[in-house]
Amino acid sequence: MIESSQNLPTRFGSFYLFDLIGRGGMAEIFLAKTFTSLGTERLSVIKRILPHLSEDKVFCEMLIAEAKLCARLSHANVVHTHDLGVIRDQYYIAMEYIEGFDLNQLLSLLSKAQTSLPLQFGIYIIMETLQGLDYAHRLSDTGGAPLGIIHRDVSPTNVLISTEGDVKVCDFGIAKATMSDVGQIHLDEYHLKGKVAYMAPEAIGGQQAVDRRADLYAAGILLWELLSGRRLYKRKDENETMALAQEAAAPRLVDRGFPEYERLADMVEKALSKNPSERYQSGAEFIDALSEYLHRNKLIVSQLKFADFLMEHFGEDLYRHRREREKVLDEIGEYRERHSRPDMVEPPTPDPDAFPPFDGFEGLEEGESLLQTPPRAQAIPAPFQPKPQVFARLSQEVSTTMWVAAALALVLVAAIVGFFALR
């Protein structure tokens, strides 16, 4: 049963879903709160797969491949995946919660407030996005072989920005890897396509193999749109948008008083080259070009400065939203007490030493996780406690030593007094 926003909060395994923040043809996305056995609380984002897809074996294999892939990603600019499991016959992915907004929402807020995004912050967002993508592109397995990860859906809604100025790439949901257990699943065959307006021309045509340069092309579109203040290939008709994106005839960046405009326009033009061999060949190369531009033009940017900008312009809205959320979280405590029954136990924690590879759906139990969990903490040794007889012997030896020391001190004092008396 799919909960509507009117039915929230509701319990889903160990999670308390309290805010429906997104819904698509594949999944619903909730903000959730969970409690550990010790009462520790944590906010998570739950991507819950729709029931009819949870019954589709091919789709679920693809989902599990995605989660295994995302579990390998651990970087400051990539949203972390906590877990993948199945509850009440529905698959879900639990992800890190980022307090803030996505890039699309940020641009809408700026437009509503009639505030422009400073050049250095626009470049900062793209550089941080590239940091996350470059990490994923370079990731290798334990033997050192490259995994060949490609995001393939780099777009404004998949770039998250926190109130602290962090920028993180999320939703590697249609990411492709060459690793054997993922590469066997043809994601393109299962109607999962990236947003057309941000797809590289070779990805649309399907005539050419797609590699990491397709992600860099999408990052170039984001940069063009941030600097131009409008969408690049967006049209009302989807087919027209696709035709424009496939043609890849991006207009040259308009001069809006940018320092060294020609250099900046050339950089954007290179990123948006139709021929992949003429683009930046790696995220690191793209980052270096943007970093050099900032340095040459003495444009100072940092995470703290970006956070200050966000709080200055949107702090009031963020604080109001936080207060509303905390009010709901308080209500969840009451909800938890009302709905706690002996049969509503927490899902079992899987043994990290017994994590099997996925070989189909046989034997998958309700609440069982499909991702490895961190190793369990080892017990802390008890403080040293000497046996009573040992402690008595130690006390006797200490007492004897103290008496001998006191006697020697008295002899020394008497000798000093006698010496001065004879003089």
Domain boundaries, the chain: 5-97+345-354, 102-315, 383-418
Assess contact for 375 and 355: CB atoms under 8 A: no
Assess contact for 2 and 23: CB atoms under 8 A: no
Per-residue model confidence as pLDDT tens digits over 324-352? 777 777 766 666 666 554 444 444 333 33
Task: For the chain, give the mean pLDDT.
Answer: 78
Q: What value does the mean pLDDT take over residues 126-149?
A: 93
User: What pLDDT is recorded for position 189?
Assistant: 40
CATH level 2 (architecture), domain 102-315: Orthogonal Bundle (1.10)
User: What pLDDT is recorded for position 121?
Assistant: 96
Predicted confidence band of residue 46 (pLDDT cuts 50, 70, 90): very high
Q: What value does the mean pLDDT take over residues 182-192?
A: 40
Please, which residues have CB within 8 angstroms of residue 213's CB and are 6 or more apart in sequence?
A: 200, 276, 279, 280, 281
Per-residue model confidence as pLDDT tens digits over 104-134? 989 888 888 888 899 999 999 999 999 999 9
Predicted confidence band of residue 420 (pLDDT cuts 50, 70, 90): low
Radius of gyration over every alpha carbon of the chain, rounded to an integer in angstroms: 30
Catalytic residues: 153
User: What pLDDT is recorded for position 204?
Assistant: 86
Q: Is the pLDDT of residue 414 over 50?
A: yes
User: What pLDDT is recorded for position 347?
Assistant: 40
Predicted confidence band of residue 258 (pLDDT cuts 50, 70, 90): very high
Q: What value does the mean pLDDT take over residues 21-43?
A: 82
User: What pLDDT is recorded for position 58?
Assistant: 83
Q: Give 313 or 208, the one with higher predicted confidence.
A: 313
How far is the C-alpha of 98 from the C-alpha of 29, rounded, in Å? Answer: 13
Partners of 81 in the beta sheet? 95
User: What pLDDT is recorded for position 253?
Assistant: 93
Least confident piece of the model among 25-29, 245-249, 345-349 = 345-349
Q: What is the CATH number of domain 5-97+345-354?
A: 3.30.200.20
User: What pLDDT is recorded for position 186?
Assistant: 41
User: What pLDDT is recorded for position 176?
Assistant: 60
How far is the C-alpha of 28 from the C-alpha of 160, rounded, in Å? Answer: 18
Q: Give 26 or 265, the one with higher predicted confidence.
A: 265
Output the CA–CA distances (angstroms, integers) from residue 140 to 54, 68, 118, 135, 143, in the order listed: 30, 14, 36, 10, 8
DSSP state of 9: S
How far is the C-alpha of 210 from the C-alpha of 129, rounded, in Å? Answer: 19
Secondary structure (3-state) at 256 = coil
User: What pLDDT is recorded for position 278?
Assistant: 96
Q: Is the pLDDT of residue 199 over 70?
A: yes
pTM score, two decimals? 0.74
Predicted confidence band of residue 77 (pLDDT cuts 50, 70, 90): very high
Question: Kind of pairing, strands 167-169 and 27-35?
Answer: unpaired
Assess contact for 53 and 89: CB atoms under 8 A: no
Q: Is the pLDDT of residue 358 over 50?
A: no
Helix (H), strand (E) at residue 95 = strand 90-96
Q: What value does the mean pLDDT take over residues 193-203?
A: 82
Q: What value does the mean pLDDT take over residues 78-86?
A: 88
User: What pLDDT is recorded for position 315?
Assistant: 85
User: What pLDDT is recorded for position 393?
Assistant: 53
Assess contact for 284 and 134: CB atoms under 8 A: yes
Q: What value does the mean pLDDT take over residues 133-147?
A: 91
Q: Give 195 or 256, the one with higher predicted confidence.
A: 256
Q: Give 124 or 18, the one with higher predicted confidence.
A: 124
